[in-house]
Structures are given as structure tokens and as C-alpha cells.
Structure 1
């Protein structure tokens, strides 16, 4: 066999995807799921390694726009479908696939590479840092009430089939993208993911519904959810499983949360993906009975470092020289002068002395404003070479709105 990756041919997709399924446990997806991912796969951005006619390594990328601080949407390669067969581990297959992919995506014009990780330990060696986190919550609605800020009672709520409201929900989602770093600009075809609801994946829950929150006919929020009934001798023990909860208005958000927490025969509400600055802890009567947990979500690395740093805005004016180590994408290695502020930035190579030295994965973690450069310095990942430079850069890189990835890919 050769361990060199090559571009996937369209007629190889089935065997290539089957190898991916086996690497992730061998359970075949439904026709609905496979059909969606077949249609979304960008074959010319997908690679494989073959042993004879058997695929033993897979990797691909979706073409996304990722929102960054300041509201710009940056071309990004969404790395996905990564696997190596158990029989072919420790032969450098993943490293070769990742190197080929990152080089090609950069050549194609992508500024960033992003991914979600099945195992967090894998991708730091390729320069990816943890750029966003998610909050998982399970609200004990038998003991927790939801506050009603001004305007909540004026919201009109209606429950409809998700397909019937998809267009309006997608329009609302598009309004949200520039408001929060880390959100994906959904390209044509990706709206189908919002309707993906195969029965085997429901784990005993109902089909999904969507509740809309409107004021004077204007859609201000929505939540896609399912109900998982349960009964014990003392009474019902059902769970409301929330897949999406998006709103552009505080009253709409509170109205939706209050509705979900008040559905008959349900005693808990499960939310699997909230931003770390979610309003939820401030709306509930007892945050301790909401079982809040934080987990890593989006991993990011600059593909074209100068363009990446110039693409976002900064909270305060900054003029700092960064000495960046990047042995996996060596074109990023070296010293860069970043000058900018809230109105934009410029980032160019320089021979001037560095204010900070850091590996590219630390820069990836801080890029969206989710990780503090000071906290990364406390972990030994950022070195301050000019006194005061770390504090200035930390403030500039921060974001008033926490970065958040709304869904996996």
C-alpha cells in the first residue's frame, strides 16, 4: 500500500464513507443521514488512503464562513470525516492526510481551519486550539421556575412542524451570525441538517417540533425540541430535549425557555449546546438544580496567519509583535506585527523584537476571544517578552460576546 493520500473520486464515496462508519463504531446510518452527508460532501476537498481497494484513511472539509469578532465572516475549511482504520494506526496516515489537506485548503483560499474533535487529545499536534466551549444543562423543572423579563408575556408562541417554519428560522439564524463569533454561515444545503431527525437517533423521544416566538408577526426566536415521556409510580418523569434555542430578543428567549420548562408531564429540560454567556443562569430560580457543565466544542487554527489576524476586529487599539511557532504549517512561522482596533487591523511580517511568543495552537484558542492570553500564559503557552505586552494583547483579543459553535459538522 501507499500511505500518500489522494483526492476522493465521486464513485468511491460509498466505500470511503463505510470506512468512516466502521472507524466510529460500525453502526450504519439511516438512508436519510447518509443521503444528507453524501450530498454535502465536497468530493474535491476530500481525501483518502487506500490499501489495495480498501479505504483505510479518510478526511474532508466543508466550505464554511465563520463569524469572527467585529462581525466579519471568514472563509474556513471545516475539517470533517477524519478516520484511520484500526488495522493501520501508527503509520503516519493521519499526519499525511492532515498536511495534504491543510496545504490544499490554504491554496484554495481558506483563512482558517476548524473542526470538532471526537477525542480532544488528537488535534493539538496539528496546531488546533480550543476556541469555543459549550454549556450543557438539565433543568429540574419540578423545582425551578423561569423569570419573565419585561415583554415576555407579550410574546405570541406557536408550535408547528419544523419543515413549515424552516425558511423563517434560517432567516433569523442568518441575522445572528455576525452578532456572535464562532457561528457558521450556513451555505445552501445545510438547512437540511436542521430537519435531520432519524427515528433510530431519537433514543425514545418524539419527532421534533419547533416553537416560534413572535411579536406583531415578527419572528424573534425559535426552539426545536422533542419530548421523551417517562412514568414512575409517583408520577411522570418526562424530559424535553432541546436541539436548538435561538433568539434575537431577551423576552423571546425567556418566553421560549419558560414554555419548554412548562410542558405537561415533563419534569426536566435538557439543553445540550448553550453559549458560555447564555442568559439561562440569570433566568432560573435555582441554578444549582440546572446541572450546568462546560465542554470543549470548536477547535481552530489559522491557515493563513496574517490574513486571519487582519480579518477580525479588536476590542481596543493594539500594536504588538507576535513570534509564532508553527512547525506543521511553516509558512506561518516567525514574527508578525499586528496593528489594529475596533475598526479593523493589519498584520504583516516584521523583523522587530517580539512582545509575545506563542505556538499557533495558543493563537487558535485566543483567536475568537474565547480563551484569555493571560490564562494561556499561566499554562506556559504564551511568553511575555516585553513587559506590559501580555495585558494589552489580552484585552485587545477579548470579545464582549462569547464565541459559540451552534452545531457540529
Structure 2
């Protein structure tokens, strides 16, 4: 159970207090929601998932919410509670409110049958304390106009169509988003209408001097094979036009469509640079570049994962190699996860996870288990940092079994 200072209590926030919920988050993040944005885009946190700590005066002192994801994992999907909108009023800090909210989030997620939680960390130093492990990275690129791509058969036969982005593109965008990420761990579909609306929402307050959003689609006849939402910002230098192109999202279903899409975006008139959205570290664009050296890259942490129900989580994914190993897991927040677990993986990649008294082969905290969960981290590499311990052969077997053929990533921040 979560503990709170005297006079504080946990409450599920009713719809009529939504503005107060949002106001606490605005204070925590030094933000302010333009009424125009609130008018255009629906509030994204589901009503039954808005939770807060109420102070002695009856006002909200801290808030958090979650999204009901079906998170892609190697070989399938698992129910995942996407932690979001976590904020404590600046005048209510250092009272244990965050720890209480995380405990409440874990309890409620387990009650809903969600064996894992995931988040984007506003501050990377915070969430490891609560067992979240950095499970994936993403890369943002800034490319010069005209960056050459290696040829791909069939790309020149595809057509492009340019339009202003609008509500009518929402279903197309979500469908491409879902299909483009098939098989990639962490690639969260948007489960609610409010979240899907943000794929195509374009409030003027978001533009920061850029034009209204455009959408380019790549087509094979009537079949849409790729699309990207982007906008341009006027700029002039001594040598002439230096417009910037900022791509909000880009999805493609095959190599030819990928090539045609980025060839278009990299050769727009008047422009000098193109900024990509978050891409997986193994994205096709990185492999297509003829000369990757002039490209500016910014790599950062992406999704963080917290294992809540260890046997359900580990049995909810598939593995790349057979495995029979005993994991000794520590978990200060969820004692039911702590202890020794035998993970037995057969030739079909399915795992059976059971309690055992056998000697441990590998020892790790639940934080590192979360880091390994999507298949983008190496147990051997974590052991080289002293974060996981075990014999080299056991670590190598865990690494081989847990790995994913596609690098995990979520292409949007939740």
C-alpha cells in the first residue's frame, strides 16, 4: 500500500476536476496549455486513469495518469500501463508524493491485469529508483538537402501526392503507423480517439513559425505505401534560401516506399536542412544514406520499461533462442517479483517461468530486467558495467535469447 503524509489522500480524479488535474501538471512542468489547443485537441488521459494526491486543503497536490496500451514485444503483445502526466506541485515536493503515486500506479496496473508499465522519462535519474529500466534508444537526424540515397528497385515507379494535413487523414495515419511498426518491440499503437487525434492535430500554437502541417503520401496506384507529416519554416541567408523542414512522423511499408518518401522530403525547393522525428537506431534511412558522415545525429533514451508481474511479463513475449536459466531478481517495490525464477524456453520461443530454489545463474535488479525486456539491451554489456552478475556463458545465453531482430522504439512521446 502507498503511504502519504498526514492529511493527504489518493483520489481518482472525476471529469469535473480535469482542469485542476491539468493545472497541477502545468505548474510541475512550467507549462501552460493554450485554450486554443485544449479546444482543438481532446484531453488524452482516460477518465478512469486520472489519479491524484489530494492535500489537506482539498486541492490536488500531485497527479499522474496512464494509457491502456497493447505493447508490442518480441513475438507478440502484452497489456501495458503507459505512465504519463506525472507531476508534483513545486510547493508540495519532498513529501514522498511521487513515491506514493508510483506505488498506486503499480497497484492499479496489477489490478487491471497489466504485467508491465512503460514511460518516457522527463528526467532520466528519477525512474530507475522505482524499477524502470531504459529499454530502447532513438535517433533524430538533421540531414542536408539533397542527401543521396542508395537506389532501391521500384521506387521511381511510385507516385507522391501532397496535401494539407487534416482530420480526414487520421485513419490513414494510424493504419500506416500500425503496419509500419509490425514486429518492432515498443512501437505503441494509439489506443484511444484522443491520442489518434494528435497524429493530425495542428494547433497554431504548436507551429513556432513553421507553416501549417502538410502530408505527403507515396502511392502505388490507389494503394498508399508511405506517408509523412511535415512543415517548413522560412529562412534566408547570405547565399539565399535556408528553409528548414521538420518531419513530425514518417511511416513506410516497404523499401521502395521508404526510398520514394525520403527522396521527396530531402529535395524540397528552398530548403537547406531536414529534421527527422524519432527513428529506431536501425532505421532503413540510416542504411540508405550514401554518405552518412555529414548527418547530424542525436541519440537519446526512448521507452523505459517496468516489469510488474514477472512471470506474466516474461511468458508474454517470445525468445530468439532456447534457454534454461535461473534468474535471481531483486525488487524493492514489488516483493512478489523478488527471488529466484527458472526461465525455460523451448524451440518454439515460448517460456515457462516458475519459482525455484535452485542456485542462480544470473543476478539482476528488476530495473535491468526491464531494460532487457524489449530485446534492445545485452545482459553481457550490462554485466560489463557491474549491473548484472553471472558466469559469462549464462550471460551470453540470456543475451542471445532476449535479443530482438529489430531495435525497439516508440516513435511518439506519451
- Normalised by the length of structure 2, the TM-score is 0.94
Query: How far did 1:303 drift?
Result: 1.1
Give the equivalent residue in structure 1 for 2:114: 110
Residue 399 of structure 1: SS of its match in structure 2? coil
Give the equivalent residue in structure 2 for 1:119: 123
Mapped partners of 1:387, 1:165: distance in 2: 51
Give the equivalent residue in structure 1 for 2:34: 29
The answer to whether residue 297 in structure 2 is matched with residue 292 in structure 1 is: yes
Deviations along 1:263-287, one digit per CA (max 9) or x if unpaired, are 0001110013010001222222321
Aligned residues between the structures: 405
Mapped partners of 2:58, 2:95: distance in 1: 18
Deviations along 1:356-407, one digit per CA (max 9) or x if unpaired, are 01000101011101111111111111110x5511111101111110001011
Residue 401 of structure 1: SS of its match in structure 2? coil
Residue 315 of structure 2: SS of its match in structure 1? helix
Give the equivalent residue in structure 1 for 2:375: 369
Contact 1:223 1:243 in 2 (8 A): yes
Contact 1:4 1:93 in 2 (8 A): no
Mapped partners of 2:86, 2:42: distance in 1: 14
The answer to whether residue 140 in structure 2 is matched with residue 136 in structure 1 is: yes
Residue of 207, 219, 235 corresponding to 1:202 = 207
Mapped partners of 2:344, 2:218: distance in 1: 42
The answer to whether residue 395 in structure 2 is matched with residue 390 in structure 1 is: yes
Query: How far did 1:338 drift?
Result: 1.1
Residue 251 of structure 2: SS of its match in structure 1? strand
Give the equivalent residue in structure 1 for 2:286: 281
The answer to whether residue 316 in structure 2 is matched with residue 311 in structure 1 is: yes
Give the equivalent residue in structure 2 for 1:324: 329
Matches within 5 A, 1:257-272: 257-272=262-277
Mapped partners of 1:169, 1:200: distance in 2: 22
Matches within 5 A, 1:4-403: 4-33=9-38, 36-38=41-43, 40-51=44-55, 52-70=57-75, 72-141=76-145, 144-163=147-166, 164-189=168-193, 190-341=195-346, 342-384=348-390, 386=391, 388-403=393-408
Residue 277 of structure 2: SS of its match in structure 1? strand
After TM superposition, the structure 1 stretch with the greater mean CA deviation from structure 2, 29-38 or 92-101, is 29-38
Unaligned runs of 5+ in 2: 1-5
After TM superposition, the structure 1 stretch with the greater mean CA deviation from structure 2, 79-88 or 174-183, is 174-183
After TM superposition, the structure 1 stretch with the greater mean CA deviation from structure 2, 83-92 or 120-129, is 83-92
Mapped partners of 1:103, 1:94: distance in 2: 14
Mapped partners of 2:282, 2:39: distance in 1: 34
Unaligned runs of 5+ in 1: none
Give the equivalent residue in structure 1 for 2:3: none
Query: How far did 1:49 drift?
Result: 1.5
Contact 2:322 2:349 in 1 (8 A): no
Mapped partners of 1:41, 1:151: distance in 2: 42
Query: How far did 1:37 drift?
Result: 4.9
Contact 1:69 1:369 in 2 (8 A): yes
Mapped partners of 2:372, 2:190: distance in 1: 24
Contact 2:66 2:83 in 1 (8 A): yes
Mapped partners of 2:301, 2:388: distance in 1: 20
Contact 1:76 1:112 in 2 (8 A): yes
Residue 246 of structure 1: SS of its match in structure 2? strand
Residue 185 of structure 1: SS of its match in structure 2? coil
Query: How far did 1:34 drift?
Result: 6.5
Deviations along 1:184-230, one digit per CA (max 9) or x if unpaired, are 13223032110122112211111111111122322211111111111
Residue 125 of structure 2: SS of its match in structure 1? coil
Mapped partners of 1:35, 1:101: distance in 2: 29
Contact 2:140 2:276 in 1 (8 A): yes
Residue 301 of structure 1: SS of its match in structure 2? strand
- Normalised by the length of structure 1, the TM-score is 0.95
Query: How far did 1:7 drift?
Result: 1.5
Residue 287 of structure 1: SS of its match in structure 2? coil
CA RMSD of aligned residues (A): 1.6
